[in-house]
Chains A and B, each alone.
Chain A
Amino acid sequence: MHVSGASDESGGLVDGARGGRPEALASLYRAHGAALYRLAYRLTGTREDAEDVLHDVFVGLPEALARYEERGNLAGWLKRVTARVALGRVRSRKRRGEVPLELAGPGSEPLADPDGIALQVAVNQLPNRLRDVIVLKEIEGYSHREVADLLGISVVASRVRAHRGLARLRQLLEDGR
């Protein structure tokens, strides 16, 4: 299968980006950047980290596209790459109990809805192993098989963590009322 959707156009972009052409890379960014940024933001919890993740993904994309065999959906492949980079970043930084500054102060315009803020704060309070599964399964809509592949865990573990993550979220939201 070639790239989904406007396959010829996307295929041209992939070839152009693979060759390191800035305009092709910019077009791929405009097409997929916002969705990938949302994913990175949800996995890392801060805008700065999300921007760094997206920066690294697109800077490394031309070389990485050499490994992309165009057998699947380009957007899905990009999301998997972004998720791996974001998860690697979260693992390497291992928060030590600090509240991310972004959540400690105002300035999160898209989260102006109080329920949204409460939910985002609760998601960020989850331990990483539960939070990763909640973000990938419940927010991004991956299957348990895909979550298991991305996180290097079993499908059963993904199910268990999703169940525990939702339970913990409910508890956090109820405690915060």
Chain B
Amino acid sequence: MTDTSLDALRRALRDLAAPAPSPELLERILQSRATGVRVNLPRSERRVAGWLWGALAAAAALALVISTRDSGRAPPDTGSAYSDIAAMPFWPPDALAQDARPPRAPRYAPVRIEARRAQAGTWVYQNCTVFDEVLTPCRGRPTTTVSTITVTNATWHGRPTWLVSQRQARERVGSPGDTMRTPLDTAYFERETLRPIYAALGGDRFRLERSFTGDTVHEALDIGGAHPRSWRRAAQIPAAPDAPLVLQWAGVDLTLLLQTLPLEGGWHGSVYTVRLVGADPSRPPFIPLDLRVVGSGHIEVPAGRFDCWKVESREARSMVTLWVSKDRGWLVKTNTRGTDWRAESVLLVATPPAP
């Protein structure tokens, strides 16, 4: 601009052009409504007296204490690390504040993968959750959580596959023996499509198995101990037969998928995640994960410095920011933000080593 006087600037601002929405946006809106998607729009902000916040906080704390008291449901002999899982009413929809609702439609077209780009390796991440920017288990706090994800070449009944395993370990700082490990989460994936074939989690007292045949997932969930329970369910997979699927248990593991995505500026695509089919009626078993590249930059983590794509990942009501290395598609860092908390995961070490 040649004239930057205040009046000229104001005129230019008023005349500033803006693009029009894409023609298909209305269709997407109507499709979302038709599939049952609902959004709570913000109301006008109203001031709430400080004492009321205090009363609400006290009530919430009281409700939390009451809801987490030992109700005698826990089997008496559950000495394993998963006694808390075995004792849960599986799952308590009221505590998780989830509503049963039909699945929403994916925002974008299905992702197209370049399967040849996937590589074997081991990735170790440190996870940390921060509440109110104060409480954090990984910065001077007593526990730290490390996730290890391994991808190896394998075969499944003679077919070449990827074997992906994942395990978390939470260790009390200064007490190396005081460690809680989650069960080994293992899954076989088709090499060409990254479609899961079989996935298993748990051991004797708690075991979840999922097998995928054609357009159907079969789920078997068994919880042992003094109050054994079992679920057997099957569900039709909404995605195309050759579309990749992302398995979800404690979290979404994108290690393999991200290596194969042709990320670039403006890229976007959707993929279905598979949750529990029979044991959690409060949420649909398949939820679209909408991914899109929103930026780029250099990220420094313990494993090294990486030139990354910044990818926004939306699943149901949560949004996660992913930093994915441009050269190999490694997941370098994730960031999830809630109202008063944020969770961060950074790559500690990778094998093969970072370039």
Contact = CB atoms under 8 A, between A and B. Distances in A.
Given A26-B26, A101-B265, 18 more contacts: A25-B33, A26-B30, A29-B26, A34-B21, A37-B20, A47-B22, A48-B268, A59-B29, A81-B42, A85-B42, A96-B297, A97-B297, A108-B19, A110-B20, A111-B17, A119-B12, A139-B13, A149-B44
B43 interface: yes
Interface in A139-155: 139, 141, 149, 152
Contact of A173 (B4, B29, B34, B41): B4
Chain B's interface size range is 35 or more
A61 interface: yes
Contacts, number: 139
Interface in A14-48: 20, 22, 25-26, 29-30, 33-34, 37-38, 41-42, 46-48
Nearest to B39: A60
Contacts of B10: 138, 166
A174 interface: yes
A170 B9 contact: yes
A54 B25 contact: yes
In the A-B complex, the 6 residue pairs with the smallest Cβ-Cβ separation, listed nearest first, are A60-B39, A98-B295, A38-B18, A110-B17, A60-B41, A64-B41
A57 B28 CA distance: 12
A109 B19 contact: yes
B294 A47 contact: no
B79 interface: no
B38 A119 contact: no
Contacts of A98: 295-297, 310
Interface string B3-19: 01010011011101111
B16 A139 contact: yes
Contact of A51 (B22, B34, B293): B22
Contacts of B13: 119, 123, 134, 138-139
A59 B105 CA distance: 13
Interface in A87-130: 88, 92-93, 95-101, 104-105, 108-111, 113, 115-116, 118-120, 123
Interface in B27-73: 28-30, 32-34, 37-45
B337 interface: yes
